[in-house]
Protein backbone atom coordinates (compact mmCIF):
# COMPACT_ATOMS: atom_id res chain seq x y z
CA UNK A 1 0.00 0.00 0.00
CA UNK A 2 1.98 2.85 -1.39
CA UNK A 3 0.35 6.28 -1.23
CA UNK A 4 1.58 8.77 -3.80
CA UNK A 5 1.01 12.49 -4.23
CA UNK A 6 -0.15 13.14 -7.83
CA UNK A 7 -1.63 16.03 -9.75
CA UNK A 8 -4.82 15.54 -11.76
CA UNK A 9 -2.76 15.36 -14.98
CA UNK A 10 -0.38 12.73 -13.50
CA UNK A 11 -3.31 10.63 -12.21
CA UNK A 12 -4.98 10.83 -15.64
CA UNK A 13 -1.74 9.70 -17.34
CA UNK A 14 -1.38 6.75 -14.97
CA UNK A 15 -4.98 5.62 -15.45
CA UNK A 16 -5.12 6.50 -19.17
CA UNK A 17 -7.94 8.97 -18.74
CA UNK A 18 -8.25 12.73 -19.28
CA UNK A 19 -7.38 15.36 -16.66
CA UNK A 20 -11.08 16.20 -16.20
CA UNK A 21 -11.95 12.53 -15.75
CA UNK A 22 -9.22 12.21 -13.09
CA UNK A 23 -10.60 15.28 -11.30
CA UNK A 24 -14.13 13.82 -11.40
CA UNK A 25 -12.84 10.48 -10.08
CA UNK A 26 -11.09 12.25 -7.17
CA UNK A 27 -14.32 14.00 -6.24
CA UNK A 28 -16.38 10.81 -6.42
CA UNK A 29 -13.90 8.84 -4.31
CA UNK A 30 -13.35 11.79 -1.97
CA UNK A 31 -9.60 11.52 -2.22
CA UNK A 32 -7.66 13.81 0.12
CA UNK A 33 -6.27 16.93 -1.58
CA UNK A 34 -3.63 19.45 -0.78
CA UNK A 35 -1.93 22.35 -2.58
CA UNK A 36 1.60 22.24 -3.97
CA UNK A 37 4.02 25.16 -3.90
CA UNK A 38 3.07 26.16 -7.43
CA UNK A 39 -0.67 26.20 -6.58
CA UNK A 40 -1.66 22.89 -8.20
CA UNK A 41 -3.84 20.39 -6.38
CA UNK A 42 -2.08 17.23 -5.15
CA UNK A 43 -4.02 14.04 -4.47
CA UNK A 44 -3.03 11.34 -1.99
CA UNK A 45 -3.67 8.18 -4.01
CA UNK A 46 -2.93 4.47 -3.65
CA UNK A 47 -2.88 3.81 -7.41
CA UNK A 48 -3.04 -0.05 -7.40
CA UNK A 49 -6.02 0.04 -5.03
CA UNK A 50 -7.88 2.65 -7.11
CA UNK A 51 -8.93 0.19 -9.84
CA UNK A 52 -10.33 2.60 -12.35
CA UNK A 53 -11.44 1.12 -15.66
CA UNK A 54 -12.27 3.83 -18.15
CA UNK A 55 -15.47 3.51 -20.04
CA UNK A 56 -15.22 3.10 -23.79
CA UNK A 57 -15.70 6.31 -25.68
CA UNK A 58 -19.11 6.95 -27.03
CA UNK A 59 -19.58 7.61 -30.67
CA UNK A 60 -19.76 11.19 -31.69
CA UNK A 61 -23.22 12.62 -31.37
CA UNK A 62 -24.99 13.52 -34.55
CA UNK A 63 -25.32 17.19 -35.28
CA UNK A 64 -29.02 18.17 -34.89
CA UNK A 65 -29.00 19.81 -38.30
CA UNK A 66 -27.67 16.60 -39.88
CA UNK A 67 -30.29 14.60 -37.99
CA UNK A 68 -33.04 16.89 -39.30
CA UNK A 69 -31.63 16.62 -42.81
CA UNK A 70 -31.70 12.83 -42.57
CA UNK A 71 -35.28 12.87 -41.29
CA UNK A 72 -36.31 15.21 -44.09
CA UNK A 73 -34.61 12.96 -46.64
CA UNK A 74 -36.57 9.96 -45.33
CA UNK A 75 -39.80 11.97 -45.44
CA UNK A 76 -39.08 13.10 -49.01
CA UNK A 77 -38.51 9.50 -50.10
CA UNK A 78 -41.78 8.48 -48.42
CA UNK A 79 -43.63 11.31 -50.16
CA UNK A 80 -42.10 10.36 -53.52
CA UNK A 81 -43.27 6.77 -53.02
CA UNK A 82 -46.77 8.02 -52.13
CA UNK A 83 -46.87 10.25 -55.21
CA UNK A 84 -45.84 7.30 -57.40
CA UNK A 85 -48.57 5.15 -55.83
CA UNK A 86 -51.20 7.84 -56.35
CA UNK A 87 -50.12 8.32 -59.97
CA UNK A 88 -50.59 4.59 -60.56
CA UNK A 89 -54.06 4.75 -58.99
CA UNK A 90 -54.93 7.80 -61.13
CA UNK A 91 -53.77 5.97 -64.27
CA UNK A 92 -56.00 3.02 -63.41
CA UNK A 93 -58.97 5.34 -62.80
CA UNK A 94 -58.30 7.15 -66.08
CA UNK A 95 -58.39 3.82 -67.96
CA UNK A 96 -61.74 2.98 -66.33
CA UNK A 97 -63.04 6.47 -67.19
CA UNK A 98 -62.00 6.12 -70.85
CA UNK A 99 -63.64 2.69 -71.10
CA UNK A 100 -66.90 3.96 -69.58
CA UNK A 101 -66.88 7.03 -71.84
CA UNK A 102 -66.56 4.81 -74.94
CA UNK A 103 -69.38 2.64 -73.61
CA UNK A 104 -71.58 5.71 -73.05
CA UNK A 105 -70.82 6.93 -76.59
CA UNK A 106 -71.85 3.55 -78.04
CA UNK A 107 -75.06 3.58 -75.99
CA UNK A 108 -75.83 7.13 -77.16
CA UNK A 109 -75.47 6.04 -80.81
CA UNK A 110 -77.71 3.03 -80.19
CA UNK A 111 -80.27 5.27 -78.45
CA UNK A 112 -80.26 7.70 -81.38
CA UNK A 113 -80.80 4.82 -83.82
CA UNK A 114 -83.61 3.41 -81.69
CA UNK A 115 -85.26 6.85 -81.54
CA UNK A 116 -85.05 7.19 -85.34
CA UNK A 117 -86.51 3.71 -85.83
CA UNK A 118 -89.31 4.51 -83.35
CA UNK A 119 -90.14 7.73 -85.21
CA UNK A 120 -90.24 5.86 -88.54
CA UNK A 121 -92.41 3.11 -87.04
CA UNK A 122 -94.81 5.70 -85.59
CA UNK A 123 -95.05 7.40 -88.98
CA UNK A 124 -95.85 4.04 -90.69
CA UNK A 125 -98.35 3.20 -87.95
CA UNK A 126 -100.14 6.52 -88.50
CA UNK A 127 -100.18 5.92 -92.27
CA UNK A 128 -101.56 2.40 -91.78
CA UNK A 129 -104.21 3.64 -89.37
CA UNK A 130 -105.31 6.14 -91.99
CA UNK A 131 -105.52 3.38 -94.59
CA UNK A 132 -107.51 1.15 -92.24
CA UNK A 133 -109.89 4.03 -91.49
CA UNK A 134 -110.44 4.60 -95.21
CA UNK A 135 -111.14 0.88 -95.72
CA UNK A 136 -113.61 0.85 -92.85
CA UNK A 137 -115.50 3.78 -94.24
CA UNK A 138 -115.65 2.04 -97.62
CA UNK A 139 -115.85 5.17 -99.62
CA UNK A 140 -113.30 6.51 -101.96
CA UNK A 141 -113.91 8.95 -104.72
CA UNK A 142 -113.67 7.70 -108.29
CA UNK A 143 -114.63 4.05 -108.34
CA UNK A 144 -116.54 1.03 -107.14
CA UNK A 145 -116.31 0.10 -103.47
CA UNK A 146 -115.17 -3.50 -104.11
CA UNK A 147 -112.41 -2.46 -106.54
CA UNK A 148 -111.27 0.26 -104.24
CA UNK A 149 -111.20 -2.11 -101.31
CA UNK A 150 -109.04 -4.57 -103.21
CA UNK A 151 -106.66 -1.84 -104.26
CA UNK A 152 -106.50 -0.46 -100.74
CA UNK A 153 -105.81 -3.93 -99.36
CA UNK A 154 -102.93 -4.28 -101.79
CA UNK A 155 -101.52 -0.93 -100.71
CA UNK A 156 -101.99 -1.90 -97.08
CA UNK A 157 -100.12 -5.21 -97.56
CA UNK A 158 -97.30 -3.41 -99.39
CA UNK A 159 -97.06 -0.82 -96.60
CA UNK A 160 -96.88 -3.56 -93.94
CA UNK A 161 -94.11 -5.38 -95.84
CA UNK A 162 -92.17 -2.16 -96.33
CA UNK A 163 -92.56 -1.21 -92.66
CA UNK A 164 -91.32 -4.65 -91.64
CA UNK A 165 -88.25 -4.27 -93.89
CA UNK A 166 -87.55 -0.81 -92.46
CA UNK A 167 -87.59 -2.08 -88.88
CA UNK A 168 -85.13 -4.88 -89.73
CA UNK A 169 -82.49 -2.47 -91.06
Say how many domains are in the chain: 2
Within-domain flag for 57: no
Q: Is 16 in the same domain as 68? A: no
Q: Is residue 131 part of a domain?
A: yes
Residues 81 and 14 in one domain: no
Regarding whether 98 and 129 lie in a shared domain, the answer is yes
pTM over cut 0.85: no
List of the chain residues with pLDDT < 50: none
Are 72 and 125 in a shared domain?
yes
Q: In whole angstroms, give the CA distance from residue 127 to residue 156.
A: 9
Q: Quick one: 139 and 76 in the same domain? A: yes
> Which structural domain range is residue 38 located in?
4-49
Res 53: pLDDT: 66
Q: Judge if 91 and 32 occupy the same domain.
A: no
In a domain, 54, yes or no: no
Amino acid sequence: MCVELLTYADLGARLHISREAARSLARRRRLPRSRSEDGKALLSVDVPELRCTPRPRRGRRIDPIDALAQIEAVKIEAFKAEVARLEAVATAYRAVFERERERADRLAVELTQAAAETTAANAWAALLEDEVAVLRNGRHAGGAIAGQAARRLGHLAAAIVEADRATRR
